[in-house]
Structure formats: C-alpha cells, structure tokens
Chain A
Amino acid sequence: MKTIKIISFIAFLFISIVFFESCQKEQADTAVPEFTVLEPMLGDTAVGETHIEFTVTDNAGLDDLVVTIKDKSETVIYSKHSNVLDLKVFAFHDHYHLDGITSITPLIVTLMAMDKSGNTKTKEIPIFAKP
C-alpha cells in the first residue's frame, strides 16, 4: 500500500512537471518572425527587374513564407512560396522580370512569414517600376 502511494505521488509529480513545462512552452512563443530587407527599399524604382533580397528569422522555427508583388489593382503579378519548414533563418533572393511595364507603375512587394506557432508577420514595401 505504501509503495502504491509513493508511486502515485511520483507519477503525480512527473505529470505536473510535464504539464507545467508544456504550459511554459505554449506561453513562450508569441514572437513573430522578423524580416531584415536588403532590397527593395521603400520607394525604390525598379527598371527591367525587381531584385528581392531579405532574411527572415524566427525564434521557434518558420512554417511558411510567401512573397508577392501586386499592382495598384491588387492583381498579383509575382508570387513565390518558399519551403521554410522548421528553419530558424532563411535567406530569400530572387529576381522578377517586369514585363509589360509601359509607364511608371506603383507596385507593392509583400512579404508574409508565419512561424510554427501561427505567429504571422507581414511587411509591405511600395516601389515603382519603370519600363
């Protein structure tokens, strides 16, 4: 009987610690992913092609990364998903050829990253495209 009590007590302690630890972990990750953008910068004018280069980081690990370019009518002219699952850091580097630009056109480059806990960060960078 005494042995059962001791085992029950140890089991209770163990379960409590595990539960407490898991609660702590759940509370821990509220940090959103962070972008450090090298290009484009706000208000840049792209001629011929857009150069997009940035690094995204997350303390717990990324889940998804999407980069889009939209024109003023919200039409998506460029969209790229990157497989960043479980990465804590990812360097994005791509060039998009701006075809069909006939005059100075405002565009919005949008970076969206989500981490494994569902924390999302979106960054919009307005730029201009020139033929």
Chain B
Amino acid sequence: MYKIIVTAMLLLLSGNALACDICGCSAGGNYFGILPKFQQNFAGVRYQYRSFESRAHESISENGQASMEYFQTTELWGRYVLNKRLQMFAFLPFNRNKRVEDTKTTVVSSLGDITAIANFVIINSDSSCKRYKHLLQIGGGIKTPTGKHEIIRNGIMLNQNIQPGTGSFDFPINAIYALRHKQIGFNTEMGYTFNSPNNQHFQFGNRFSIVARIFYWKKFKQTILLPSIGMAFEKTKNDLISSIKQDYTGGEIVLANVGFDMYYKNISLGITYKKPMTESIGGGYISNRQRLSANFIYLF
C-alpha cells in the first residue's frame, strides 16, 4: 500500500508542470478543490474570478494597446458516484469575459465548454478505524466545444483568448490525492489538458497544473470547518496557429492560496483566494492579478 502511495506522490510531484490562463483565456485550469465525502453524489455551483494585465505589445493586444482582462465563470457542477471505484464529474460553465482597453471595452457573456470527467478511485481508506485516511483518484475526460468561439465585434473576430469557448475538443486528465491524520490533512491535485486545434486553426497550448494544500479539520457537532493554505504551480505551452508556435504565449506561474471550507449536514461552502507569487507569462508582457473562487455543494 505504501509503495503505491509513494509512487503516486512521486508522480504528482515530478515532471514539468504546465496550465495557466495565459492571456486570461476562457479555457482556464479546472481545480476540483478539497472535495467532501468521497463516496457521495453532489451537485453545486461555483464561481471563479480571474484578472490579468496585458502590457502594450503588438503581438498581444490589438494595435499594441495595453489592456485589462477580467474573466468570471459561474458553473454548475456535480459528481455522480457510479460505484466504489468510479465517479463521474460534469461541469457546465457560463462565462463573462471582459477586456478593457484605452479606447474600448469588450464584454462577452455566454455558455462555455461543457466538460465531463470520469475518475477511478485507486485508494480510499476513509474509514474511522484507520489512523491515516487516504484517497487517490485518477481520471480523464473530454471538454466539448459548446461555447461560442467565433464572436465578431465591428467586423473583427475577437481574440480566441476572450471567446467564451475554445471551439475545440480537449482532453483533461487529473490525479487527486488526499491524506488526513487526525485533524491535519494534505491534499494535492494535478491536471494536464491536451488541447486540439479549432476550425480557426488555433490551438491553445497544453496546460499543466499542480496544487498542494495543507488543511486543518475541526468538527463542531454537525459542522466541520476546514481552513487551508497551499501553493499552486501552473504552466502552459505556447499557443499554436496552423501548428506554428506563437510568440508571447505560454508561461508559468506560482500562486499562493488560502481557503476556507465549511460543511454542515449535506451542504458545503468554500472560498479560495489565490495570489501570484512569481510568474513569467506571455514573454513577461502579461501579469496575473488575484484569483478568487467560491463554491456551494449539496450532497445527496
């Protein structure tokens, strides 16, 4: 058992890391967060806010203008436990993307790309008789091009990174590991997305992300409080147009995150704040600002 855990940990913590919202694209990394009650179904809604600053460069913003970009995603999501070994996740996002330049502001609001993921439970020792509780899941899925990706304003198609959808079938894979001993726990998740080109011959760079959190578990009668702190690393490869690597795209970022989750009976509420610590994105022309996410889950 411990060999499997050690191997899994090494897999999670090694390799090149990649997955970021370069240029604040709508195909942002999709974190699961600290999921409650591993063997129960849930449905919920979550909100993510991300903002970026793009400095003037003709390859990044039209006519060399600097811009601020704001991305808000509100999505319905859920988990359905098929059996002890297999869980299905589904994500139905609605995106509101905004780009503010000196001379104009562009806002698009639309359904995003629907994602479905199947996760296999490799280890689940969530039993009260165990001193250490472990969970290891690995899985993968498909992101379908249900979001618009050819929105035109004043005759010009908006940049792909501000469109609500990517227009491509993409294939995310993930691994989640959680460990808890008494009131202290550790959670990590890793994801990699293989992106394919859309009909505009545009292909977002493949993305990698890894996040690790330490949490404190405290139960008060029927309420569980779970504050957490952690670090995330994301890296994305360069975007491609007609298979040609695009300059000033791709990059990597390290974020510090702090979160607070609360569980009461069948309800879970959570909030996470992420602040960039160091980054090199878009050749240094793009800076991430804060990220905020909140979620509500109903377990059944």
Chain A residues in contact with chain B, CB under 8 A? 34, 36, 38-39, 51, 53-55, 57, 82-83, 87, 89-91, 93-95
Contacts and interface: CB of A to CB of B under 8 A. Distances in A.
A87 B58 contact: no
Interface in B138-164: 150, 152, 154-157, 160
Contact of B63 (A39, A55, A57, A91): A39
Contacts of A94: 241
Contacts of A53: 62
B59 A95 contact: yes
Contacts of B125: none
- Majority secondary structure of chain B interface residues (helix, strand, loop or mixed): loop
Interface of B: 58-59, 62-63, 150, 152, 154-157, 160, 199-201, 241-242
Given A38-B63, A89-B157, A55 B152 contact: yes
18 contacts: A36-B154, A36-B156, A38-B62, A38-B63, A39-B63, A51-B58, A51-B59, A53-B62, A55-B155, A57-B152, A57-B155, A87-B199, A89-B152, A89-B157, A91-B157, A91-B200, A93-B241, A94-B241
B194 to A, nearest CB: 22
Contacts of B154: 36
A90 B155 contact: no
Contacts of B58: 51
Nearest to A49: B58
A86 B110 CA distance: 24
Given A89-B150, A95-B59, A55 B200 contact: no
B157 A55 contact: yes
Contacts of B152: 55, 57, 89
B274 to A, nearest CB: 31
B241 A36 contact: no
Contacts of B241: 93-94
Contacts of A93: 241
A90 B200 contact: yes
Contacts of A39: 63
Contacts of B200: 87, 90-91
Given A39-B63, A55-B155, A55-B157, 8 more contacts: A51-B59, A53-B62, A57-B152, A87-B199, A87-B200, A91-B160, A91-B200, A93-B241
Given A38-B63, A87-B199, A95-B59, A82 B157 contact: no
